């Protein structure tokens, strides 16, 4: 930041750091094209540290459900299903297994987009006034980051 730009103050009179402001702008999506309901319904997903909040929040909820299981006498038809936390641990294990199998299976079964020679555009009944996709929407590799 150069020295010739005047410092700005916020309402409480503190100086605002321009660099921080710019950095903040970088990952705050502009209001352009944003539906007013988006903030109401899903604004919370933009919260700072949402990743950590979800991680600890859902983790704690899962742990609470397992702890609750300790105090409950369940009556299952299969003996092993009565073990404390059986459903939770089984769900966690199955989910993890399925997702991790995605790595080898993807390498084994994935071919080019036009493998069968019939790749093409969208169907005829899409929005005729559809905007062109932004550059950032070109094929990206979600999960790489």
Partner 1 sequence: MPAFLTALNPGWLMILAGVVAIFLPMRRVRQGITIAAPLLGIALLVMADQNVNHLTASVMGLDLVLYRVDGLSFVFGLAFLLAALLNSIYAWHTDNRLQDGMALAYAGAAIAAAFSADLMTLFIFWEITAVTSVFMVLAAGTRAAYFASMRYLAIQVLSGVLLLAGACYVYNNTGSLGMKAFVSLREPGAMLIFIALGIKAAFPFMHNWLQDSYPKASVVGAVVLSAFTTKLAVYAFIRMFPGQDALIWIGAVMTVFPVFFAVIENDLRKVLAYSLNNQVGFMICAIGLGSAGVGNALALNGATAHAFVHIIYKGLLFMSMGAVLYRTGTTKASELGGLYRSMPWTALFCIIGAMSISAFPLFSGFVAKSLTMSAVSREGLTVVWLMLLFASAGVMEHSGIKIPYFAFFGHDSGRRVKEAPFNMLLAMGMGAFICIAVGIPAIVPGLGYEWLYNLLPYREEAMSYQPFTFDHILTQMQLLVLATFAFIVLKRFGLYPPERPGTILDTDWAYRKIGFGLAQWMGTVWGKVGPAMTAVFLGISSRAYERIEAAFSPRGELARGALTGAMAIWTAALLGLVLLLAFVTVG
67 binds partner 1 per the rule CB under 8 A:
no
Residues from 16 through 35 that contact partner 1 (CB under 8 A): 29, 32-35
Least distance (Å) between residue 66 CB and partner 1: 7
Residues from 85 through 114 that contact partner 1 (CB under 8 A): 85-92, 94-96, 98-103, 105-106, 109-114
Check: CB of residue 66 under 8 Å from CB of residue 88: yes
4 binds partner 1 per the rule CB under 8 A:
no
Q: What angle do CA 28, 33, 38 make, to 5 degrees?
A: 70
Please give the Cα distance from 122 to 135 (Å, whole number): 18
Residues from 114 through 133 that contact partner 1 (CB under 8 A): 114-116, 118-127, 130-131, 133
51 binds partner 1 per the rule CB under 8 A:
yes
6 binds partner 1 per the rule CB under 8 A:
no
Please give the Cα distance from 1 to 17 (Å, whole number): 9
User: How many other C-beta atoms can be found within 10 angstroms of the C-beta atom of residue 82?
Assistant: 14
Give the binding-site size for partner 1 (rule: CB under 8 A). Answer: 81
Least distance (Å) between residue 67 CB and partner 1: 11
Please give the Cα distance from 96 to 102 (Å, whole number): 10
Which one of the spans 2-10, 17-25, 77-85 is the region binding partner 1 (CB under 8 A)?
77-85
Backbone phi, psi, residue 57, to 5°: -65, -55
77 binds partner 1 per the rule CB under 8 A:
yes
User: How many other C-beta atoms can be found within 10 angstroms of the C-beta atom of residue 105?
Assistant: 11
């Amino acid at each position: 930041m150069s020295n010739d730009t005047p410092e700005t103050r916020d309402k409480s009179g503190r100086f605002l750091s321009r660099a921080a402001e710019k950095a903040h702008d970088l990952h705050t999506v502009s209001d352009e094209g944003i539906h007013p309901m988006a903030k109401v319904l899903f604004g919370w997903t933009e919260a700072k540290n949402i990743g950590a909040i979800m991680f600890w929040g859902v983790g704690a909820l899962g742990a609470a459900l397992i702890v609750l299981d300790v105090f409950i006498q369940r009556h299952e038809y299969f003996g092993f299903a009565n073990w404390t936390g059986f459903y939770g641990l089984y769900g966690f294990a199955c989910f993890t297994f399925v997702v991790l199998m995605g790595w080898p299976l993807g390498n084994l079964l994935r071919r080019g987009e036009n493998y069968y020679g019939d790749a093409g555009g969208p169907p005829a009944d899409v929005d005729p006034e559809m905007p062109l996709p932004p550059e950032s929407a070109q094929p990206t590799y979600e999960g790489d980051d």
